[in-house]
Structure 1
Amino acid sequence: MGENQPPSRRSVLAAATLGAAALTGAAGLVTAPRARAGGRGGGDAFVPAVVVGTGYGAAVCALRLAEAGVETLMLEMGRRWDGPGADGSVFCGMLRPDERSSWFKSRTEAPLSTFLWLDVVNRNIRPYAGVLDRVRFDGMSVYVGRGVGGGSLVNGGMAVTPRRSYFEEVLPQVDAGEMYERYFPRANAALRVNRIDKAWFEQTEWYKYARVSRTQAARAGLGTVFVPNVYDFGHMRREAAGEVPRSALATEVIYGNNHGKMSLDKTYLAAALRTGKVTIRPLHRVTTIERRRDGTYLLGAEETDAHGAPLGRREISCTHLFLGAGSLGTTELLLRARETGTLPDLPPEIGTGWGPNGNVMTARANHLWNPTGPHQSSIPALGIDDWDNPAAPVFAEIAPIPAGLETWASLYLAITKNPERGTFTYDKATDRLGLRWTRDQNAPAVRAAKSLFDRVNRANGTMYRYDLFGGGLRNFADDFCYHPLGGCVLGRATDLHGRVRGYRNLYVVDGSLIPGSIGVNPFVTITALAERNIERVIAQDVTV
């Protein structure tokens, strides 16, 4: 994929020579019958269905296929996060990151990279199959989760259903009535979405930072909304009371949560494994896809250990192939297959319609008499909702800075309505995914965010913070995103239920289907859309 990933055998070997402390043993996790050897077409392993990836769309498909009686194999390039490290915890915190934090990096790459312009946030680490990756392209970096559970391991858990009017604008070909009456409720229930107790929110020290931002937004005439989450707020209250180990209240989020968070390994994937029909193989990176004469698909996958040392190449064939490797991963696999001739009839729309969901991060400096508190929950619970603004719609998460000390800073992730779209490319000579996206294309998102926070600053007599994002005087960070969307857009690269055009029994099931923007954190939409699509696919395409 992009820079700083180990997409080639050469980079995997380089990582292996650097070494890392062993956090797990062998990679395999087998909880259902193994793929059968000597299946159709030769000595490769055969399974009826393969799902590439273990993120939101992939997890939905695996569960529903298993419930329909279909033996399903999931291939995940990251590790399974189920064993503690030397400190007794599965994940490391944000204040003392170690090799568990990052995907084959020698230094962490946190979004807030400096404090008072000092390089005190990031740390040197040993390369390892860590949980968070920052994939760098020329004009944009993309944060993605690595491991069984994908992005659910590293996101803030904000489970937001988009405005129906905007959903209808983005995906007009999808029946919004069905989505809002059936599939969004189904997704929220399966994800175990819950809401914070408002009375506790109003009095706890852990959300003082959010209450300060709410007051300041109100002075500018802006409203705020409570945002549901997949973090168990009941557990968080017990954390505050000292009854259970702390996670959200112990600076844990972007490198994983040890407690309290209902990530996919505890919801959809756990349910899928309980069926006995699903096998998950971590540390398997799919590199090639081809279609055989009998209509089955043959996948090539490189297996490594958690230090990057190669363990061999596997070939697996299947009848039904579901791509859920995320906007970057799924698009890369299809572009490589088209450009190298293994799936030559893939449509030209593959790689188009990409966007960062209008992501822009910014921070404001508060007055000394208006502190945000040294104790901050790492799980956001409130957002500034100005999406009805006809000139510059913005939904801004009120984000924490859980530094363990007073910062007098208010941090935000603004989601804006940026109409700009990028296009993925594939360079066959270097085996690299590229992204045609320039910094100029971020301008609409920055203007929208600036319009909102200029109002907040004027109303409160405050100013922007310029010291948090590195690179000199920067008050807006528009060079990275958390919400990559598009690349295999529904109704363009696929039909209206994710079937890839030109190839029977090949499906896209993840955020690649959404054309660049959905106006809120996208994982609930990805989950609900996958529920809709797999229901139709199982009914019409799959024979048990």
Structure 2
Amino acid sequence: MGNMTSPLSRRRFLGFAALNSAALLGLNTISTTTASAATRPGGPVPAVIIGTGYGAAVTALRLGEAGIPTVMLEMGRLWDTPATDGNVFCNMLRPDGRAMWLKDRTLAPLASFLWMDVINHDIKRYPGVLDRVDHGDMSVYLGRGVGGGSLVNGAMAVVPKRNYFEEILPAVDAAEMYGKYFPRATSTLGVNHVDPDWFETCDSYQFARLSREHAHRAGLKTTFVPSVYDFDYLRREEAGEVPCSALAGEVIYGNNHGKRSLDKTYLADALGTGNVTIRAMHEVRAIRRDEARGYVLTVHRRDDSGEIVERTEIATERLFLGAGSLGSTELLLRARDTGTLPGLGAEIGQGWGPNGNVMLGRANHVWDTTGRTQSGMPALGIDSWDDPEHPVFAEIAPVPAGVELWVSLYLAITKNPERGHFSYDPATDSARLHWNAEQGQLSIQQAKALFDKINRTNGTIYRTDLFGDTRPFENRFTYHPLGGLLLGEATDDYGRVRGYPGLYVTDGSLIPGSTGVNPFVTITALAERNIERVLAEDRLTPVGS
């Protein structure tokens, strides 16, 4: 057959070309020529997607494939242009303005070491890649940029336990999800697995092998974790053949090489359809309904200092909310309570949870070294989810400091039925999360039961110097915000917002507070399922028809 290029790889190539040319020209509008022609200013756009994270990216690709002109509005930057140091992103040891969204100081979840404030640094205020939104007893970490949370997560592409998926989303056909949509999601995301033979001998995962040994001694199971980080690239990093990324402390502030973030997969494919335009640095502030024009969005455009430089409106016949649990929920709460979408019900803002996140550290014996070289991308977890009393899935996390610290770090995901809710605060024109420390206590108890067992067996203790005070457990933050616009409650069973035809939710706000694992594969697969049904039933109009 010669050198025929498959439609998918050709499409991705075209998408990369669009992203690269936008980066080279310093543009905030990313598209191919046909897409920009199909979405020029003026009349209503056939489809608008707010956000560029997992659910949004899936929706964009499938709308683009269906021939529907689509505009994506992203409040963060396009992260494609190297700074003066030659890198797009900064690392965790030497952060700068690229690290945080409009902050004067970094706010890493690991706040101290030996009770010293040596981890966080003052930085120049800039629209950086990681945001932390504080709500009293809970802080939520969010990705800001084209690709959303895929830019700042640990790449752990875990499919939830089927019996738990059936428990949290009983209205969703699990057989269809596990037979069709999870495989479709993992394939398009570029999920891969670490070579188990290389894992046993490499330096990159000495820290994980030590935690595995300690867990096995306590009678616990461990499991390899699939990833969207390219494990072959990691192997070459360790061999010194390519620039380091996972081995250069590049995790929560972005990753320069090796990671298959959404701009490398779904978003590139979406742009390559010729029907999708991404507008970066465009934040949607309000939604109203106009009988003649459909949904009308108030949009603020920022410059690189973070200042708002333009206020515009865009109208659309079909609006897809993909701004994440906090962003999408806030938009609908504001619309309901300010009267621009007054028919929204009391279900808006309900069912929020932090996926049971708890971080903790253990102090190892002096002879139990974790290694100076540590991959920033985890590849192993302690799987105690089937424990009837204390269900926990604990990621074995790195401490990529470049020196031996004798610390084992974990992000435990626990099964906590407690849920928070959002209300609209007119004084600040924002959503306020109602979640208190007491609601997180069960998560700490579950994590403590697991790690008490490990400490007892191995003669180790908790670290109490990592979270800014003397607490061994940190559960006042989450990387995994879920809920606020629950599937089957705020929406129908496919994400259509009740009472508002043409308005859809496509992100983690659909999921009631917990998945038991890192949630991005679940969000992706659920979005695949929902958009397939919407395209089949809702009469969206392709170009030229």
TM-score tier by shorter-chain length is: over 0.9
Structure 1 consecutive aligned stretches of length 4 or more whose deviation exceeds 2 Å: 22-32, 34-38
1:478 maps to amino acid: N
| Deviating more after overlay: 341-350 vs 292-301 | 292-301
> Is 1:112 aligned with 2:115?
no
Distance 1:218 1:79 in 2: 44
Partner of 1:456: 454
Partner of residue 256 from structure 1, selected from 254, 257, 264: 254
What is the Cα deviation at residue 429 of structure 1?
2.5
Tell me the distance in 2 between the aligned counterparts of 1:379 and 1:50: 33
Structure 1 alignment gaps of length 5 or more? 1-21, 40-45
Equivalence for 2:28: 27
Out of 242, 245, 248, the position equivalent to 1:247 is 245
Residue 98 (structure 1) shift: 0.3
**DSSP-derived class of the 2:36 partner:** coil
Paired residue for 1:349?
A: 347
Corresponding position: 1:540 with 2:537: yes
**TM-score, normalised via structure 1 length:** 0.94
Per-residue CA distance 1:314-370 (angstroms, 9 max, x = gap): 110011000000000000000000000000001110000000000000000000011
Deviation at 1:33, TM superposition (A): 1.6
Counterpart residue type for residue 538 of structure 1: L
Tell whether the 8 Å contact from 1:117 to 1:467 is kept in structure 2 after alignment: yes
Q: Counterpart amino acid of 2:475?
A: D
1:123-142 superposed matches below 5 A: 123-142=121-140
Change over 3 Å in CA distance of 1:404–1:23 after alignment to 2: farther
Partners of 1:474 and 1:486 in 2: CA distance: 28
* Corresponding residue of 2:41: 37
Query: Matches of 2:213 and 2:99 in 1, distance apart?
Result: 34
Aligned to 1:496: 493
Structure 2: stretches of 5+ with no match in the other structure: 1-22
Q: State the aligned residue count.
A: 516
Deviation at 1:25, TM superposition (A): 4.1
Q: Is the 8 A contact 1:23 1:86 kept in 2?
A: no
Letter in 1 for 2:480: H
Say whether the 8 Å CA contact 2:29–2:277 is kept in structure 1. no
Distance in 2 (alpha carbons) for counterparts of 1:415 and 1:66: 35
Query: 2 CA distance for matches of 1:321 and 1:150?
Result: 18
96, 99, 102: which one aligns with 2:97 = 99
Shift of 1:168: 0.1
Structure 2: how far apart are the matches of 1:405 and 1:270? 37
| Paired position in structure 2 for 1:15 | none
Report whether the alignment pairs 1:529 with 2:526: yes
Match of 2:375 in 1: 377
Match of 1:60 among 54, 58, 61: 58
The answer to whether the 8 Å contact 1:497/1:533 transfers is yes
Distance 2:25 2:110 in 1: 29
Shift of residue 295 of structure 1?
Answer: 6.6
TM-score by length of 2: 0.93
Give 1:37 shift.
3.1
Instruction: Tell me, in whole angstroms, the C-alpha distance in 1 between the residues paired with 2:292 and 2:511.
Output: 31
- Structure 2 SS opposite 1:136: strand
Secondary structure in structure 2 of the residue aligned to 1:180? helix
- In the alignment, the residues of structure 2 paired with residue 258 and residue 295 of structure 1 have an alpha-carbon distance, to the nearest angstrom, of 41
**Structure 2 CA distance, aligned partners of 1:331 and 1:380?**
30
Structure-2 separation of matches of 1:108 and 1:179? 39
AA partner of residue 115 (structure 2):
W
The superposition leaves residues 392-443 of structure 1 with CA deviations (integer Å, 9 ceiling, x where unpaired) of 1000000000000011010000000001000011111321221110000001
Per-residue Cα deviation, 1:133-168 (whole angstroms, up to 9, x for no partner) = 011001100000000000000000000000000000
- 1:513 partnered with 2:510: yes
1:438 equivalent to 2:436? Answer yes
Alpha-carbon deviation of 1:23? 12
Q: How does 1:31-430 map to 2 (within 5 A)?
A: 31=32, 32-34=35-37, 35-39=39-43, 46-294=44-292, 296-430=294-428
3-state DSSP of counterpart to 1:189: helix
Q: Take 2:304 and 2:167, find their aligned partners in 1: how far apart are those partners? A: 43
Instruction: Give 2:408's aligned amino acid.
Output: S
Deviations 1:175-210 (A, max 9, x none): 000000000000000000000000100001110000
Q: Please say if residues 23 and 84 of structure 1, whose CA atoms lie closer than 8 Å, have aligned partners that are also in contact.
A: no
